[in-house]
Amino acid sequence: MTKTFTHLNDHGAAEMVDVSQKQDTERVAIAEAIVYLPDDVILAISDDTVEKGDLFSVARIAGIQAAKKCSDLIPLCHAIPISKISVNFEKNKNILRVLASCKSNFKTGVEMEALTAASISALTIYDMCKGINKGIEIQKVRLIEKTGGKSGSWKV
């Protein structure tokens, strides 16, 4: 089966996909960003001495705001009614995993919103900790799961 680019018209020009005839369905997407933190950053987080404030609260709010602004940031991305956004963090030694989940009951998916939330949360962590050590690395951003819609469920 040949896949086509849905954002190109018959003349090859970019355009927003028409979703008006699609049915609303519950859609969920989960994305992750993997962030490597040097030892001195880990110590500052553990000692609660990150000078710019409450690292995880600020990064969580940044991710939530980013998901809500996704259609302003990514051309041709639909503005969708998001019913839930969550951003959580898992720390294991020098690796911080940012998990962002978005949920909607609409005609198109929330993958880009979840990816945007994870990305901006990771960038916020970098911004808040770069004064301690600029060797922080955002190593991976990816979709890890999605449910709903015509294409059904998918998981890494």
- Catalytic: 40? no
Q: 46: which 2 tokens?
A: 């553990």
CA distance 48 to 78: 39
DSSP assigned state of 64: H
Q: Which residue among the candidates 18, 39, 72, 127 is catalytic per the annotation?
A: 127
CA distance 145 to 29: 6
Q: 138: which 2 tokens?
A: 């955002």
Burial grade of 53 (CB within 10 A; 0-12, 13-18, 19 or more): exposed
Element (H, E) at 63: helix 55-68
Catalytic residues: 127
